[in-house]
Chains A and B, each alone.
Chain A
Amino acid sequence: MTYIAKPKFHHPGLKKNELGYTHRDYEGKISTLCAGCGHDSITASIIEACYELSIEPHRVAKISGIGCSSKTPDYFLGNSHGFNSVHGRMPSVLTGANLANRDLIYLGVSGDGDSASIGFGQFAHSIRRGVNMTYIVENNGVYGLTKGQFSATADRGSKSKKGVTNTDNAIDLVAIALQLGATFVARSFSGDKTQLVPLIAAAIRHKGASFIDVISPCIAFNNHAGSTKSFDYVREHNDAVNRLDVLVGRDPIAVDYAPGTVQMVEQHDGSKIALRKIDADYDPHDRLGAQTFLARHAAKGQIVTGLLYVDPDAEDMHAHLNTVETPLNTLEADTLCPGSAALDKFNASLR
């Protein structure tokens, strides 16, 4: 199989965003995933979020590991550099890329096999370090490209397509991300674009480690009765704590909300998140409360979605390392090399 060209023409009246880009400017190549794959909905949501935020498409770096989800960065933001790296190693590649140029937007796309199994360590450590990124796991509980083996996020007791029952405990990446200090943590469902698009947008505007676990049913291998990652199961058990709108450069007063139902969160870059509460008691600034809430609901078989935790004043890895504002990849010999006079002094100290 080889590359399929996507026609470039579009309707002349296509809507443009603040920068004059159309929706099409954020698209990529034609997806090669199965028809109806949840991942394609996430791709569409990423496109939508970037369009809404009026991001310059080429200022995004898309980095992935290996697997069905990791193929998707080819299907959005065609004018961005993408890197389909090594299985489970997206986080380290992204960390390095971010160190080299702090001015780009980093979008890490991974899957449950990629992040919860082979790359569990890298997932954990990139979160720990506070890498400024949006880390999306397209979570279907199954290995798709190798045809249907359980992944580490498959729930205990769930059944594979072949009828095998999973006896291992599941890893909840959201719980782990909270524990490791991620400063933006969310869960959503690929079938719920109205919730997912603003979550992705808010995560991109967040300065720090943003993590979104997106339950994304696998049409081919994990959409049957007995699966806890099927469309039907997720719809029935989805427990959304909030829905949100991301407001960039818009007057929040212009948005009409019923009093007492909305919590405004201002992020470090000045953008605002309007959180429409569904669960009145849920506080997305309470890390410990979020952990308890998640555990309690997971025990009941519910899938909690929404913006689960955000620290609007988060610091990122560059702040920890005290690196210069200028991207390191633009520094040249005149600023990096101490020169011969310094070397002569160094030599003199070694005699």
Chain B
Amino acid sequence: MSDKKPISSVNDFVVRFANVNGSGSASANEMFARAILRHGVPVSPRNIFPSNIQGLPTWYEVRVTEDGHLGARGGVDMMVAMNPQTWDKDVAGIEPGGYLFYDSTKPMPSTKFRDDITVIGVPLTAITNSTYTDPRQRQLFKNIIYLGALSALLDMDPKLIEQLIGEQYKGKEKLLSSNVHALHLGRDWALQNLKCPIGLRVKKSDKVGDRIFIEGNSAAALGAVYGGATVCAWYPITPSSSVAEAFTAHCKKYRHDPDTGMAKYAIVQGEDELASIGIVIGASWNGARAFTATSGPGISLMTEFIGLSYFAEIPAVIMNIQRAGPSTGMPTRTQQCDIIACAYASHGDTKHVLLFPEDPAEAFEFAAAAFDLAERLQTTIFLMLDLDIGMNHRLCRPLKWDDARQYDRGKVMTAAMLEEGRDFGRYLDVDGDGIPYRTYPGTHPTKGSYFTRGTSRDRYARYSEEGSVYADNMQRLMRKFETAQDLVPRPLQANAERPTKYGVIYFGSTSPAMDEAIALLEARGHQLDRLRIRAFPFHSSVASFLAEHDFVYVVEQNRDSQLRQLIVNENGIDPVRLVPIVHYDGSPITARFIAKAIGDHQDHLKVTPLRKAVS
């Protein structure tokens, strides 16, 4: 062994599990994360999975963080190496002084290890095989056995894990007791044969509070239930499929008539994304709240309809769970790379409303709000999640709903209003906000009907190919987009302790890494005001923020700094003052990355921190 001291840390470390896809490890790993939460210690877990179902590598990373840093940290303090295929890379990835946990049933040559780490071997296969005969049981319980061993090594309270097993297998006594038995097999072996605990330890704390642990896709889907969505049409695509699946599960729970058992919703798995958005547009045209969930390639396919939604002014909600580029493989990795594609989707002059939730709690709120916005603005609203928020459990504040809240169904002219003699022009701007009234099909026998077209109609929906009529409509659509600025969630600003000429703009899943990076940067003497953008079109406070700072960093998870492009384009400002900080290798952005990139730029500017200058 080298003289590198083993890492010693309480409630602040990263454990990474390297597993084989389809081995049943996911539930054991998730239980590990939940067990730490039950100690009152925040965790932030992430799935790193390949695009296949069985037999290839998959990783699950748990960041244990008493300070509540929920972004990815980078680096691994303890590797639970359960996959021989990735062994070399996994071992190489451990921080010096870190720990390697492995199945020592078969002896490994010493060249397969490192001198500067602590190697912990547990004969998992031997323990499993001497206890179980059924091959599937062997595979599944091996995962629980390593969970038991880890609980001893990390000084975790086994009662809290037993409690979780009890909740998971409630009513299935046989499974419950056999899982508890397996847990103790591993735990007892570790206590009897290894030095427990190691330098990494979990200690009971009270930092979790009333927060919940939920995936963004599930929260967004529940937001759609609360927001009154009745029609969902979708086509399977990672990482968005679990939105529709969660919507199905939530609806089964909350949306069946207790007397008849009939469904107060309709879910259609379309033949493709074109059909999915077509169904959404048809349902919304007919007055139902409808949505689809998709990812980048789906957005590409939907763009013709998105343009129709803009021009024919039909509400639609599209949840875009962003991922890296086209094809298969990298698309199971996270990115924020569809900003431009969504903001200006389709042919002709179009602009669309985008919402950027930072976590599952906001995904829930914004999803529900998206339906109000879509009906108020009669256009497509994009809910821009990404794989990092969507497919990982994230600790967040509890979801909240005000029972007094009514849906904003927007400007809908009813039969009674038509009967009163109200002037109905489908594209008539009666209130000066660019938003016309619409009628639902079937409203009135003789009044209020119209023929829906993309363009080529006047304020009363009569056919027209006159240029002036077209231009008049386009100007109204622009007014409507300006109206949207004040309806969408506003940016949130947080200023540095001392006045500064530097600012940073960020959005979406970058949020937790950004908060942590600010602390790191402050420690280096860099003061930054920050603005978290939550929607497009940009509120006027974005322009003010830009005006108040000499340089503004724009931190995002794509190559082309797409949000920055959008800001430059929409605000007409000098691009030099907006410094791109981009991360796009498919892994979630980290505080270390942001702090280094911004810190280096600040150093490059030869800024002498005030404190140093005066001392």
User: A residues within 8 Å of B by Cβ?
Assistant: 1-3, 29, 56-59, 61, 63, 73-74, 78-86, 89, 91-101, 103-104, 121-122, 124-125, 129, 318, 321-325, 328-333, 335-340, 342-344, 346-347, 350-351
Contact = CB atoms under 8 A, between A and B. Distances in A.
A99 B268 contact: yes
A93 B288 contact: no
Contact of B463 (A3, A83, A122): A3
A211 to B, nearest CB: 17
B272 interface: yes
A125 B270 CA distance: 8
Nearest to B409: A332
Top 6 nearest A-B pairs by Cβ distance? A96-B282, A92-B278, A100-B288, A81-B441, A329-B287, A96-B279
B285 A331 contact: no
A266 B578 CA distance: 72
A318 B264 CA distance: 11
Contact of B288 (A80, A329, A344): A329
Contacts of A96: 231, 233, 278-286, 288, 290
Contacts of A351: 37, 208, 210-213
A79 B261 CA distance: 36
B447 to A, nearest CB: 8
Contacts of A91: 275, 278
Contact of B290 (A100, A333, A339): A100
B397 to A, nearest CB: 9
A328 B264 contact: yes
Given A96-B282, A329-B283, 7 more contacts: A58-B442, A81-B451, A85-B278, A121-B271, A122-B271, A347-B212, A351-B211
20 contacts: A2-B465, A29-B463, A83-B451, A83-B452, A92-B270, A92-B274, A95-B282, A96-B279, A96-B281, A96-B290, A100-B231, A103-B442, A329-B286, A329-B287, A333-B405, A340-B400, A340-B402, A343-B226, A351-B211, A351-B212
A330 B405 CA distance: 17
A338 B272 contact: no
A26 B266 CA distance: 32
Nearest to B267: A321
A346 B399 contact: yes
A340 B231 contact: no
B364 to A, nearest CB: 9
Contact of A323 (B228, B262, B446, B449): B262
B281 A93 contact: yes
A61 B440 CA distance: 10
B84 interface: no
Interface string B246-266: 000000001101001111111
A81 B278 contact: no
Contact of A58 (B228, B272, B287, B446): B446
Interface string B376-392: 00000000000000000
A191 to B, nearest CB: 27
A64 B575 CA distance: 46
Contacts of A321: 263, 266-268
A52 to B, nearest CB: 18
B225 A129 contact: no
B359 to A, nearest CB: 13
Contacts of B149: none
Interface in B422-459: 439-446, 449-454, 458
Nearest to A62: B451
A2 B466 contact: yes
Contacts of A339: 401, 403
Given A3-B462, A122-B274, A336-B255, A85 B403 contact: no
* Listed residue (A96, A121, A342) with the most chain B CB atoms within 10 angstroms of its CB: A96
A323 to B, nearest CB: 5
Contact of B264 (A1, A57, A103, A336): A336
A84 to B, nearest CB: 5
B304 interface: yes
Contacts of A335: 264
Contacts of B279: 92-93, 95-96, 99
Interface of B: 37, 208, 210-214, 222, 225-226, 228, 230-231, 233, 254-255, 257, 260-268, 270-272, 274-288, 290, 304-305, 308, 398-403, 405-407, 439-446, 449-454, 458, 462-466
Nearest to A92: B278
B211 to A, nearest CB: 8
B264 A101 contact: no
Given A100-B231, A328-B230, A81 B268 contact: no
Given A58-B442, A100-B231, A328-B288, A86 B464 contact: no
Contacts of B275: 89, 91-92, 95, 121-122, 125
Contacts of A61: 286, 441-442
Given A329-B287, A346-B222, A337 B452 contact: no
Nearest to B260: A324
A329 B228 CA distance: 10
B302 to A, nearest CB: 11
Contact of B225 (A121, A332, A338): A338
* Listed residue (B276, B439, B445, B446) with the most chain A CB atoms within 10 angstroms of its CB: B445
A9 B340 CA distance: 53
A79 B449 contact: yes
Contact of A79 (B304, B400, B446, B462): B446
Contacts of A93: 278-279, 281-282, 285
A56 B262 contact: no
A137 B610 CA distance: 76
B288 A99 contact: yes
A58 B443 contact: yes
Given A74-B451, A92-B278, A101 B446 contact: no
* Listed residue (B208, B275, B398) with the most chain A CB atoms within 10 angstroms of its CB: B275
* Listed residue (A58, A79, A80, A322) with the most chain B CB atoms within 10 angstroms of its CB: A58
A57 B290 CA distance: 26
A125 B254 CA distance: 29
Nearest to B271: A125
A325 B464 contact: no
B32 to A, nearest CB: 16
A291 B464 CA distance: 45
Nearest to A336: B228
Contacts of A84: 451-454
Nearest to A19: B445
Given A97-B283, A324-B260, A3 B449 contact: no
Contact of A333 (B214, B228, B454): B228
A70 B270 CA distance: 23
A29 B464 CA distance: 13
A61 B212 CA distance: 45
A23 B283 CA distance: 30
Contacts of B449: 58, 78-82
Contact of A336 (B230, B278, B439, B450): B230
Nearest to B466: A2
* Listed residue (B262, B286, B452, B458) with the most chain A CB atoms within 10 angstroms of its CB: B286
B398 A347 contact: yes
A78 B462 CA distance: 12
A178 B420 CA distance: 48
Nearest to B287: A329
A100 B308 contact: no
A343 B398 CA distance: 9
A328 B251 CA distance: 14
Contacts of A328: 230-231, 264-266, 283, 288
Given A96-B233, A125-B275, A321-B263, A343 B401 contact: yes
